[in-house]
């Protein structure tokens, strides 16, 4: 009997019933392990509970649900809780659906929470471009690139670090025909981040050097 999985409604009810941090974590993990679109709304709620362990599990669950969770995430972005927004943006980044593009652009460019901006920067590098037709792909790449290049000047080291990660991931995704157009500004930006004498965080320079090295290896 214990072997048969509980229906999603039961798992959702268990999350709502949880009355301790540990109980919430376990219930969220159970719900996330049964990735079902009907669980998405509840997982999105957990992002706002200020329980990092449960939020990690909820993000994993949302990413596992994938595209069917995107609308739920987008329509529940919490304008008042940047912790929750950061987790929602992480989920969007993990799913990589282009419907998240505008939210990611706005988040990197304007959000007051560095944790939101850093999650957005990473997400802008990992939107799944392969499903898109050529012209649309080109337009999405241009927008991601523009947002990431603007993010190079962010005041927080962790956001600049995430911009490096985003630029590397975006460059790795480019098909060889598009690569010629987009790679030059990516490389320039990484070289700038690597050498900017005003950079106060050596780790940003370390990461930019690693990104350049990896792009070199791919590019030959």
Partner 1 sequence: MAAGASDAPVMAGDPISEEEALRRLRLTGDPSAQYYAAWWLGRNRSTHPDAVPLLQEALRKRRPRDPGAGVEENAVARNAARALGKLAPAAEAAIPDLLATLEDEDHGLREAAARALGDLRARAAVAPLVARLAPGPAVAGALQPGTPRLQEPCEALLEALGQIGVAEPAVLAVVTPFVEHERPLIRSAACRALLQLTAAPDWGQRLVALLQHPQLQVRHAALMDLGAAGWRPALEPIAATLAENSLKLIALRGLAEQPSASHSEAATVAVLDAMDALL
CA separation for the pair 123, 118 (Å, rounded): 9
144 forms part of the interface with partner 1 (CB under 8 A): no
**218 contacts partner 1 (rule: CB under 8 A):** no
Q: Which is nearer to partner 1, 36 or 162 (CB)?
A: 162
Q: Could you tell me the CA-to-CA distances from 78 to 38, 68, 83, 89 in Å, in that order?
A: 20, 19, 9, 11
Q: Which of residues 58-117 bind partner 1 (CB under 8 A)?
A: 83, 90, 114-115
Q: Which of 74, 158, 178, 179 binds partner 1 (CB under 8 A)?
A: 158
Judged by beta carbon, residue 65 or residue 164, the one nearer partner 1 is 164
- In this chain, which of 124, 162, 170, 215 binds partner 1, going by CB under 8 A? 162
Binding flag, residue 157, partner 1 (CB under 8 A)? yes
Q: Which is nearer to partner 1, 19 or 200 (CB)?
A: 200
- How far is the C-alpha of 2 from the C-alpha of 41, rounded, in Å? 26
Q: Which is nearer to partner 1, 52 or 153 (CB)?
A: 52
Applying CB under 8 A, the residues found at the interface with partner 1 are: 52-53, 83, 90, 114-115, 118-119, 121-122, 157-158, 161-162, 165, 200-203, 206-207, 210
């Amino acid at each position: 009997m214990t072997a048969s999985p509980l229906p999603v409604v039961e798992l959702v009810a268990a999350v709502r019933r949880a009355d301790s941090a540990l109980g919430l974590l376990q219930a969220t993990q159970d719900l996330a392990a049964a990735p079902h679109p009907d669980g998405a709304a509840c997982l999105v709620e957990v992002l706002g509970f200020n329980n990092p362990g449960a939020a990690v599990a909820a993000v994993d669950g949302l990413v596992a649900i994938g595209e069917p969770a995107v609308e739920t995430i987008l329509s529940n972005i919490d304008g008042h809780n940047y912790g929750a927004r950061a987790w929602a943006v992480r989920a969007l980044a993990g799913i990589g659906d282009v419907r998240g593009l505008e939210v990611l652009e706005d988040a990197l460019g304007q959000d007051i929470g560095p944790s939101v901006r850093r999650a957005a920067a990473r997400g802008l590098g990992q939107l799944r471009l392969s499903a898109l037709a050529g012209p649309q792909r080109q337009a999405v790449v241009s927008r991601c690139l523009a947002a990431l290049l603007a993010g190079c000047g962010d005041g927080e080291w962790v956001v600049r670090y995430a911009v490096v990660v985003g630029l590397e991931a975006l460059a790795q995704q480019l098909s060889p025909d598009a690569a010629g157009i987009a790679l030059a500004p990516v490389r320039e930006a990484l070289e700038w981040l690597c050498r900017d004498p005003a950079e106060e965080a050596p780790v940003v320079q370390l990461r930019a050097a690693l990104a350049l090295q990896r792009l070199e290896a791919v590019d030959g």
